Structure 1
Amino acid sequence: MSRWEPGARERLVVAAVDLFTEQGYDATTVAQITERAGVTKSTFFRHFPDKRELLVAGQETLSRLLTEGIAEAPVAATPLETVAAGLERASNAMGPMNRELAPRVRAAIAACTELQERDALKTVSLTAAMTTALIARGLPDATAALASELGILAFKRGFAEWSEGDRDGQDELAGYVLAALDELRVASASLG
């Protein structure tokens, strides 16, 4: 095993998703993941504190991108336009690997209560980060919280549709996420 071979983090994620799909989360060990990825255990622990963190590997980056997009939105933007700026920034960072792994990650999460709990915590964390960023722009707490919830729901809906779509297509995630946000905007207006 090469000690400093590039792409170790990505290889670890792919190896883990493959093994979780093949034999289940509980039956998969860190040793098996590192062997499949062609790295050492110390490399694993340099990137991840434990195996469940593999499936939320990009959460910190996603949170940062969402909040940067919100912070950089035009001053005159409405709350949902501001959220859309964050969603677009985060979506543009997602590529073919995210699309390819998504169905297998969803299956692994669906098959394991521990991963379902971790996924729920990820959603709460991303929503809280967006809410904090919106409040920092001067939005009232309730408005910021509602806009963030709609934003996360739009991201999840758009990501699911994008990842289930044509793998050969060159369509970008942002289009799906922004369309989902527009649908939710219309739906929320009809609530009365």
Structure 2
Amino acid sequence: MGRWEPDARGRLLRAALELFAEHGYEATTTAQIADRAGLTKTTLFRLFADKREIVFQGQGELLALVTRGVDEALNDASAWDRMVNGVLVLSGAHAHEHRTTGRILDPILARSPELNERAVFKRSAITSALEGSLIGHGIDRWQAGALADLGIRAYYSGYDLWVAVDDSSTLADHVLAQITVLRGAAAQALEAAAPQPHPAGVRSADG
């Protein structure tokens, strides 16, 4: 591959994942990544601040997608429906090659505290973007925060399931199923926590 060829970001990602799998994240240098990708170190640092950011490229696009999904919901959409639309638009951007990348990346993340820390930051950023967009549509801050937490939990749980199986399902299929499961669990938890009426003729402990 010539060093002038396009898709430098994709080439660097593929090279980084190959080298991380072979030698580990900590032992891999930016020079090795650039060389494997057929690019110069100057090109690498023009695109990314460090080797960690090669893995997390595209985060800004994910934030824009989840925000766009909330914005594109119908004008009379409920807070719940806005959240769901945001998460589904986010999920719809993941193609089959992202599933393959996830299978390679997951064990690398599990072995690297530095990458894990960055992954936590990414999840927090997406959650905050979803919450902020919901608030921007007049949804109460507390409710927006709870919905964003649930929606992004469903997104990540669905992603784990999607990566683990090999079928024709989409990420959105798994995320929507997880949203349904989590909604049911939340409803059950609220019902269990609600004060129970006393049977007729039975006094409470307070009298």
TM-score > 0.5 by shorter chain: yes
**1:10 deviation in Å?**
0.8
Alignment of 1:10-159 (within 5 A): 10-159=10-159
Say which SS state the counterpart of residue 138 (structure 1) adopts.
Answer: coil
Partner residue in 1 for 2:176: 178
Say which SS state the counterpart of residue 106 (structure 1) adopts.
Answer: helix
Identity %: 40
Partner residue in 1 for 2:194: none
**1:2 deviation in Å?**
3.0
Unaligned 5+ runs, structure 2: 191-207
**Alignment-mate amino acid for residue 175 of structure 2:** V
How many residues are paired up?
190
**Alignment-mate amino acid for residue 2 of structure 1:** G
Contact 2:103-2:163 at 8 Å conserved across structures: yes
Question: What is the CA deviation profile of residues 121-159 of structure 1, one whole-angstrom value per residue up to 9, with x for unaligned ones?
Answer: 111111111110000000000000010001110110011
Please say which of residues 2-11 and 127-136 is displaced more in the overlay.
2-11
**Alignment-mate amino acid for residue 115 of structure 2:** L
**1:76 deviation in Å?**
2.2
Aligned equivalents of 1:4 and 1:86: distance in 2?
37
Unaligned 5+ runs, structure 1: none
Aligned equivalents of 1:71 and 1:50: distance in 2?
33
**Alignment-mate amino acid for residue 176 of structure 1:** H
**Whose RCO is larger (CA < 8 A, sep 6+)?**
1
Aligned equivalents of 1:4 and 1:186: distance in 2?
53
**Alignment-mate amino acid for residue 5 of structure 2:** E
Q: What TM-score, normalized to structure 1?
A: 0.94
Q: What TM-score, normalized to structure 2?
A: 0.88
Aligned equivalents of 1:80 and 1:23: distance in 2?
45
**Alignment-mate amino acid for residue 150 of structure 1:** L
Partner residue in 1 for 2:185: 187
**Alignment-mate amino acid for residue 183 of structure 2:** R
Say which SS state the counterpart of residue 134 (structure 1) adopts.
Answer: helix
Question: What is the CA deviation profile of residues 72-115 of structure 1, one whole-angstrom value per residue up to 9, with x for unaligned ones?
Answer: 11122222211111111111111122100102211111111111
Say which SS state the counterpart of residue 189 (structure 2) adopts.
Answer: coil
Aligned equivalents of 1:188 and 1:90: distance in 2?
23
Q: Runs of at least 4 residues of structure 1 off by over 4 A? A: none
Contact 2:3-2:38 at 8 Å conserved across structures: no
